[in-house]
């Protein structure tokens, strides 16, 4: 049996992906208290507001000038899946949808033939810091669906299924099933034209929380699927005797069961896997 790790490395803001995924960004911003306009109270004159991506800063304005975030911008031909772990996002788009979501919620947006949207990060708390943590995952669309009508769907935190597994030592692992299925537990339905809407494409997005020293087995999928595991919080995990340190990724063999042993601190992981779309990917194509 082959060693399950194909490749591994460190991660930062932008995470490596395998098809059918085309992009994955991890935002972690330790924003200060907000004011009455939900702006940071601690503005720094030296910040390049409107284009602030300083990786060494505790927080960033991104393309925002008063409230951090991403003002109106277009997408076309793929999907965005925005998974908010902490904090909030204010969303508006050219479909007429508006709303605030966060604290475990997921937004699934099929851009299709084109949509403009706005994603701002309101600092809603005036009496305490406003930490924001989210993943934005881009999932490609096959050519016959790239020009479908845009579609927007919310997956609310309280509705997303979570499965608990307990190992022989009594240590637990929680699997939050954003997409795909875990054993007999199925995720909420994605948008109707998504590559994930067809079960044979085996699109999987899981958030995994492991207690210290917990052991958990990732089940095999097809040999043609892409499979990426990201450790974004914790100390280290062991995969078949090889350590994967915190803030690292591992590309894994898809068609074998893989046993993961956590270290001495709680761990948070993201799993992305699925069948690739058998077409070339053309950026801005």
Give the length of the chain: 285
Q: Give tens-digit pLDDT for 162-202.
A: 999 999 999 999 999 999 999 999 999 999 999 999 999 99
- Give the range among 47-51, 215-219, 245-249 with minimum mean pLDDT: 47-51
Q: In three state form, how does the secondary structure of 182-204 look?
A: ECCEECCCCCCCCHHHCHHHCCE
Spell 124-133 as b/e; 16+ CB within 10 A means b.
ebeeeebbbb
CATH superfamily, domain 21-157, is Jelly Rolls (2.60.120.10)
Q: Give tens-digit pLDDT for 18-37.
A: 999 999 999 999 999 999 99
Concatenating the DSSP letter of every residue in 94-121 gives: TTS-EEEEETT-EEEEE-TT-EEEEEE-
- Tell me what the pLDDT averaged over the chain comes to: 95
**Half-sphere exposure of residue 3: CA atoms within 13 angstroms, side-chain side:** 12
Strands 151-155 and 185-186, sheet pairing: unpaired
CATH superfamily, domain 160-274, is Jelly Rolls (2.60.120.10)
The pLDDT score that the predictor gives to residue 282 is 76
Residue 243, pLDDT above cutoff 90: yes
**Terminal-to-terminal C-alpha distance of the chain:** 40
The pLDDT score that the predictor gives to residue 222 is 96
Residue 205, pLDDT above cutoff 60: yes
The pLDDT score that the predictor gives to residue 270 is 98
- Give the range among 133-137, 237-241, 265-269 with minimum mean pLDDT: 237-241
Stretch(es) of the chain classified as CATH 2.60.120.10: 21-157, 160-274
CA nearest to 149, candidates 94, 201, 196, 101: 94
The pLDDT score that the predictor gives to residue 206 is 98
Q: Give tens-digit pLDDT for 119-130.
A: 999 999 999 999
Share of the chain above pLDDT 70, in %: 97
The pLDDT score that the predictor gives to residue 285 is 46
Q: Give tens-digit pLDDT for 61-88.
A: 999 989 999 999 999 999 999 999 999 9
Share of the chain above pLDDT 90, in %: 90
Rounded Cα distance, 164 and 176, in Å = 9
The pLDDT score that the predictor gives to residue 50 is 76
The pLDDT score that the predictor gives to residue 108 is 97
**pLDDT tier at 44, thresholds 50, 70, 90:** low
List phi, psi (to 5°) of 20.
Answer: -85, 5
List phi, psi (to 5°) of 193.
Answer: -100, 10
The pLDDT score that the predictor gives to residue 45 is 59
The pLDDT score that the predictor gives to residue 203 is 98
| Average pLDDT rounded to a whole number, residues 45-60 | 82
């Amino acid at each position: 049996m082959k060693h399950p790790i194909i490749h591994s490395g460190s991660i930062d803001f932008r995470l490596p992906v395998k098809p059918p995924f085309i992009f994955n960004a991890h935002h972690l911003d330790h924003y200060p208290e907000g004011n009455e306009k939900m702006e940071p109270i601690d503005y720094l004159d030296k910040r390049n507001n409107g284009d602030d991506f300083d990786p060494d800063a505790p927080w960033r304005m991104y393309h925002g000038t008063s409230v951090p975030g991403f003002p109106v911008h277009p997408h076309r031909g793929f999907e965005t899946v925005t998974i908010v772990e902490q904090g909030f996002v204010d969303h508006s788009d050219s479909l007429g949808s508006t709303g605030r979501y966060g604290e475990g919620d997921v937004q699934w947006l099929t851009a299709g033939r084109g949509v403009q949207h706005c994603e701002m990060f309101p600092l809603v708390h005036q009496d305490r810091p406003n930490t924001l943590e989210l993943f934005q995952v881009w999932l490609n669309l096959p050519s016959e669906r790239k020009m479908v009508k845009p579609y927007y769907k919310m997956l609310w935190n309280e509705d997303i299924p979570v499965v608990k597994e307990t190992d022989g030592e009594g240590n637990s692992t929680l699997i939050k099933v954003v997409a795909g299925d875990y054993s007999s537990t199925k995720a909420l339905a994605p948008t109707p034209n998504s590559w994930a809407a067809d079960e044979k494409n085996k699109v999987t997005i899981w958030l995994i929380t492991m207690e210290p020293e917990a052991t958990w087995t990732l089940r095999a999928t097809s040999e043609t699927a892409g499979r990426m595991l990201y450790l974004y919080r914790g100390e280290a995990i062991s995969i078949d005797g090889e350590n994967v340190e915190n803030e690292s990724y591992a590309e894994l063999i898809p068609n074998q069961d893989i046993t993961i042993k956590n270290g001495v601190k709680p761990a948070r992981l993201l799993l992305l896997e699925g069948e690739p779309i058998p077409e070339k990917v053309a950026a801005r194509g």
